Amino acid sequence: MYRSSLALVLSASCAFASAQNCGVAGKALGADGKPMHAAVVRLTNLDTRQSNLSATDANADFRVSGGGGGQYRLDLLSPPTRVTGSLIPTRSVVGMTEGFSCRGGDERQDVHAQVD
C-alpha cells in the first residue's frame, strides 16, 4: 500500500514538472536580417542562471527547452574562434532578446544579431 501511494505521488509530481517546462522555438537572424544557419542559441533562466543550448537547422530555426517557468533570455552566439595564445575556441554573444516570461508550454521568440 505504501509503495503504491509513493509511486502515485512521484508520478504526479513528475507529470506536473514536465507540464511546467519552458520550450522556446524561433528563428536566428543576422544583423542584415538574413537567416543564420548552424548558429548556436542559448536559453538562460534569469532567476536560476541555468542555460540550455541549441543549434539552428538549415532554415535557421531552433527549438530549446528550459526548466520551469520564470524569466528567460535568448542569446545568439558567434561561431567559435581561436583567441591568440589559446588553443580553446571561444564564442561571443552577438545578439540577445529582452527578458520574457515563460509559464510552461511553448513560446515563440526570434533572436537577432546586433553585430556582424
Domain ranges (residues) in the chain: 2-112
Distance (Å) of CA 17 to CA 6, 25, 54, 79, 102:
16, 20, 21, 34, 14
Give the C-alpha separation, 37 to 10, whole Å: 41
pLDDT (tens digit per residue) in 44-101: 999 999 999 999 999 999 999 988 888 999 999 988 888 888 888 888 899 999 999 9
What are the helix (H) ranges across 1-116? 2-19
- Write the CATH number of the domain with boundaries 2-112: 2.60.40.1120
The cell numbers describing 70, all together, are 520564470
At 78 the pLDDT is 87
Mean pLDDT of the chain: 82
Quote the pTM value.
0.75
Cβ-contact 10, 18 below 8 angstroms: no
Judge whether residue 5 has pLDDT over 60.
Answer: no
In this structure, the number of other CB atoms found within 10 A of the CB of residue 79 comes to 12
